[in-house]
Chains A and B, each alone.
Chain A
Amino acid sequence: MDIEVIVKQVLEELTKVEKSKTNSINASKEKVEEVIRKVVFNKEKAVGVDNPADEEMIEKVQKITPARIGIGHTGTRMKTRDYLDFRIDHAAAQDAVFKGVSEEFLKELQLPVLQSKSSSMDEYLMNLNSGRKLDEASRKWAEEHLPKNKQVQIIVSDGLSSSGIEANISDLLPALIQGLKVRNISIGDPVFIKRSRVWIQDEIAKIVNCDVVISLIGERPGLATSKSISAYLIYRPNQDTVEADRTVISNIHEGGVPPVEAGAFLADLLADVLKAKTSGVKFAQMK
């Protein structure tokens, strides 16, 4: 929204306020009209430099980098709008980490909900190991209820972005499952694991004895997007597994690899990994 439109709207609102005041004085029995100020904050790039030497040049370079440039200043500080814009992006990133996936979303997802050993958000963030193992009850449940000996096991993990899970999984998961079914690849029951990190997939893989385990997990949010997720997959992890054995596809979100496309792509990738019987660097080198 450009400044002129905002100013115009504000002036209109003010006139309304004035009118409603006059009305109430003139007709005291009439109900006072409630004034609603609608404020919408739209993220838009604009040249904020006062009297620039070359405005066109600034507009041009603003298009080739997401960096916050050409924003101008008041004194030595950022102008109000840019300051708020920065704080809004940070707030969204914080919410993505700290809010947790909502109960309603988990209900809609209709997946079994398991728990890591992290009993609180603080523990999860400060003790990395606590998010890498299932708690006792979840482990038992998984051992008793999850189908065994399938080719692929899917895990959804909140990781560091619940917003990323809520924004992408409803599109990604069906696309991925559909893609695997078309290829006649057998799939175990997908699970959601609360407050979990990537390495928890090793424990799940061992319990269900699958060939490949894939985690769809929320990425650490940046200011540019708080809604990105990654897919980590590994072929038959064991005690000698190292990080280089995992294959990673990152940047899955509307502005990166869109979730539906990612689902189809991951189904292809899983088929290739099953055929190659290996993942990670070794898999990459075979191509």
Chain B
Amino acid sequence: MYTCTVKNERFQFQSIREILAKASEEKSGDKMARIAAQSYLERMAAKVVLSELTLKEIFENPVIPYEQDEVTRIIYDDINQYIYKEISHWSVGELRDYILSHKTNTSDLFRISKGLTSEMISGVSKLMSSIDLVMASQKIRPIAHCNTTIGEAGRLAFRCQPNHPIDNPEGILASLKEGLSYGSGDAVIGVNPNNDSVESVSKILHMTHDFMQKWEIPTQNCVLAHITTQMQALRKGAPIALMFQSLAGTQAANNDFGISKEILDEAFEMMAKYGTSTGPNQLYFETGQGSEVSLDAHLGVDMQTLEARTYGYARHWKPFMVNNVSGFIGPETIYDGKQVIRADLEDLFMGKLHGLPMGIAPTYTNHMQADQNDQEIAGMLTALAGANFYMGVPGGDDVMLSYQDTSYHDDASLREMLGLRPLREFELWLEKMGIMENGRLTERAGDLSIFK
């Protein structure tokens, strides 16, 4: 048991799990799960106790026991014991100060990353403000390679997301051409299928692959069906450069997603053997705060800590990209623009400190108290903090999934306002096509009819 007195008021916490939950910034999903702080001062008391916990205490008390949960096992089995022991006596408060110090550089952070469990990373980010999170995120630049190299300083990539409500191939191609003409698509050409059948998924894989061949586009293709469907398509010879799956932070939620370590291991090996891309990073994961609550598989752990655990799980398979979609579910998990912006900043930092090549989808649904202005603020802040990539959706309106995400126009704007360039190989291609010159879109840009 832990107690904390603040302003003469005494608060009591039963477990580290409770401290982590109550130290979280306000989010509706934690309230729905009845684990959030009951008052503003209680939240601060939890943060104070958290700042005093040592990394060793957190290590010895995982929020879900090792024996019970595959996610916990992956996280603990992947920890570098030597590095962990070097820092195990630090308090979470000291960890925060270390991360933000001028003396701590990028490689120092990559080193301690190997000794940190996901609960430690979640914990330290609960002691950080928006600017803290941006300053820390800027220092960490995880790089990955599939066909293109993602994550280099000075570069910003985009997934071209040319979805169509009924997978009309011509419709998908038209939106793909539109995206490319705005310089979007260097992270991946990624289609969410309406029809999850192996034949239909294979068809879209072939179509996007052939298009990339025809126009000699240096990027990777992906169809975001369930991973087992993609594996079947791959077995039947469909060309896949990047394989996709959504992940969560508890074994129970991953069961609901229909995945496990065995399946992901098999996918990883299959891609190395049969994938079309160079690699070594050939997987694409999506995550987001709230999936465990909405599946009723949270086990009393807060959304942010579960999101961190998802990253601890994800890093085992060395993905090329991890995309965070925290606003995708709705107001029962993330209520408004303020909560989305906070979640996006937390997730970007937590993912980076796990060593992951993170991208952010600052999305919102139509039943949340958030709008385009909130999305654009979250986009600008996380771009400033050094996100590797964003989505690119025609006009910001996904006509298949019925939600809003960053548009091709937003993609071009984020690059221009921060002086960022497309991924190296892709920029050369854009120049060859006459779409970009000296890092700026040309007069010819934004015209899909240049791809005849």
Contact = CB atoms under 8 A, between A and B. Distances in A.
A76 B416 CA distance: 8
A125 B335 CA distance: 9
Interface of B: 28, 31-32, 162-165, 168, 170-172, 174-175, 178, 182, 330-332, 335, 365-367, 371-372, 394-397, 399, 402-404, 407, 409, 412-413, 416, 441, 443, 445-450, 452
A contact face: mostly helix, strand, loop, or mixed = loop
Given A67-B175, A224-B399, A57 B441 contact: no
Interface string A44-77: 0000011111110110011011111111110011
Interface in A75-97: 76-78, 82, 86-87, 89-90, 93-94, 96-97
A94 B403 CA distance: 12
A174 interface: no
Given A53-B447, A58-B448, A89 B365 contact: no
B366 A67 contact: no
A41 B446 CA distance: 25
A64 B170 contact: yes
Interface string A204-228: 0000000000000000111110100
A67 B449 contact: no
A160 interface: yes
Contacts of B407: 68, 78
Contact of B397 (A72, A86, A160): A86
Given A65-B174, A126-B331, A221 B366 contact: yes
Contacts of A221: 366-367
A128 interface: yes
A90 B445 CA distance: 27
Most buried by B among A52, A58, A71, A222: A222
Nearest to B412: A76
A127 interface: yes
Nearest to B415: A76
Contacts of A97: 366-367
B397 A53 contact: no
Contacts of B395: 67-69, 71, 78, 82, 86
A57 B449 contact: yes
A54 B181 CA distance: 14
Interface string A222-238: 11101000000000000
A90 B335 contact: no
B402 A223 contact: yes
A57 B163 CA distance: 19
A76 B408 CA distance: 9
Contact of A90 (B32, B366, B412, B449): B366
A157 to B, nearest CB: 15
Contact of B448 (A61, A66, A89): A61
From B165, B174, B372, name the one whose CB has the most chain A CB atoms within 10 angstroms.
B174
Nearest to A92: B366
Contact of B404 (A51, A65, A90, A125): A90
Contacts of A55: 449
Contacts of A89: 397
A49 B178 CA distance: 11
Contacts of B335: 125-126
Given A66-B399, A90-B366, 12 more contacts: A58-B448, A61-B171, A65-B399, A67-B162, A68-B397, A76-B409, A86-B372, A86-B397, A125-B331, A126-B331, A222-B366, A223-B397
A235 B427 CA distance: 58
A81 to B, nearest CB: 12
Nearest to A47: B449
Nearest to A93: B366
Interface in A126-162: 126-128, 160
Contacts of A71: 395
Contacts of A223: 366, 397, 399, 402, 404
Given A76-B412, A90-B371, A128 B332 contact: yes
Contact of B449 (A54, A78, A126, A127): A54
Contacts of A226: 366
A52 B371 contact: no
Nearest to B371: A90
Contacts of B178: 67, 69-70
Nearest to A67: B394
Nearest to B173: A61
Contacts of A61: 170-171, 174, 448
Contacts of A86: 372, 395-397
A71 B446 CA distance: 8
B413 A77 contact: yes
A69 B366 contact: no
A220 B365 contact: yes
Nearest to A49: B447
A128 B32 contact: yes
Nearest to A55: B449
A121 to B, nearest CB: 10
B204 to A, nearest CB: 14
A126 B403 CA distance: 18
Contacts of B367: 97, 125, 160, 220-221
A160 B367 CA distance: 7
A201 to B, nearest CB: 20
Interface in A217-263: 220-224, 226
B409 A78 contact: yes
Contact of B452 (A57, A73, A126, A220): A57
Given A58-B449, A78-B395, A126-B32, A67 B174 contact: yes
